[in-house]
Structure 1
Amino acid sequence: MIEIPDQSTIGIPAVWLLRGILYRNKMPAWELLLRYRGRLEAYFEVINLNLIVDEAEGYAYLRQKEADAEDAEADDFPHLMSRRTLSYPLTLLLVLLRKRLLEFETAGNENRLVLSERDLIEMMRIYWNELDTNERKREDQLVLHIKKLASYGFLAPLKSEKDRYEVNNILKAYVPIETLKTILEALQTYARERAES
């Protein structure tokens, strides 16, 4: 006899996933996700979404299925997950955070990577246009970018410490190590061109 899960068994993790990223520390949603993973995958398949789970890193999220060239019907399927186009500063900050996370893990650190707003400002400083002399305005804009990345789930503000953020491992899924160097080089070239113009 097939066990049919009630609303609470797949409903809890499904809602978390539809809202964004589900992390391991969100119990009981994480346990239900692992237990009913196959059913959740089938459920999301109906609405053209892939369930991505990284048990080792402790996160799960949904990704819109890509349409095949031969599948015209899939092209017409409405998109549930919106794609975010990031501005140059947001993209640069995201890539620099990924690079910092890689360095942190390569150094053998097992704890979580926590950075202050000041750390993030210093990371970005070398990419700022020297002609722009209003440093305070630039820092204020960067703080807004930091908060935006936190709203996307890449950074988690620490409740115990003001202006400090944990870098979430979901960043690895969005900026794979294989493309990190290429993206960083392209951003550096773009920054040079902006400074010269």
Structure 2
Amino acid sequence: MSDTLTVPVVNLLKAGVLYQSDAPTVWDQIIAHQAAIGDYLAVLGLHLVIDPAEGYAYARQRDPDTRDDGASVPRLVTRHRLSFAVSLM
């Protein structure tokens, strides 16, 4: 992976949601190289989601059904159900 892709990919994986207002230079790199970043994240089983109107981007795990070769991909982050009280906070 080239150095121009390293910074935006690491920021996407580290931050979760990357906002245009928080990191304008990284945002510009994501927009400029979105196809290459999307291809790289696809190898990891992730999908690049960009909303230019709202100014945010994030990497989301692909559904297990979308894998081309039929192999199941383990979840990178485990899901935990929140209680009602916690979800209100």
In which range does the TM-score fall when normalised by the shorter chain?
0.7 to 0.9
Give the structure with the larger helix fraction: 1
Match of 1:10 among 5, 9, 15: 5
CA-to-aligned-CA distance 1:17-72 (integer Å, 9 cap, x gap) = 10111110212110000000000000000011011111111111111111129964
1:56-135 matches, cutoff 5 A:
56-68=53-65, 72-73=70-71, 75=72, 77-93=73-89
1:64-121 superposed Cα distances (whole Å, 9 cap, x missing partner): 1111299640x2x22224434322123234xxxxxxxxxxxxxxxxxxxxxxxxxxxx
Alpha-carbon RMSD across the aligned residues, in angstroms, is 2.3
The TM-score with structure 1 as length reference comes to 0.39
Amino acid at match of 1:88: F
Count matched residues. Answer: 86
Q: Which runs of no fewer than 5 residues in structure 1 stay unpaired? A: 94-197
Stretches (4+) displaced over 4 A:
69-72
Quote the residue 1:22 is aligned against: 18
Report the structure number with the largest CA radius of gyration.
1
Greater RCO (Cα-Cα under 8 Å, separation 6 or more): 2
- Mapped to 2, the partners of 1:84 and 1:40 lie a distance apart of 28
* Distance in 2 separating the partners of 1:14 and 1:34: 12
Taking structure 1 as reference, are residues 40 and 81 closer, same or farther at Cα in structure 2, changes over 3 Å only?
Answer: farther
What's the TM-score, normalizing by structure 2? 0.81
Tell me what 1:191 maps to: none
The share of aligned pairs that are identical, in percent, is 35
* Unaligned stretches of 5+ residues in structure 2: none
Matched, 1:54 2:46: no
Counterpart in the other structure of 1:37: 34
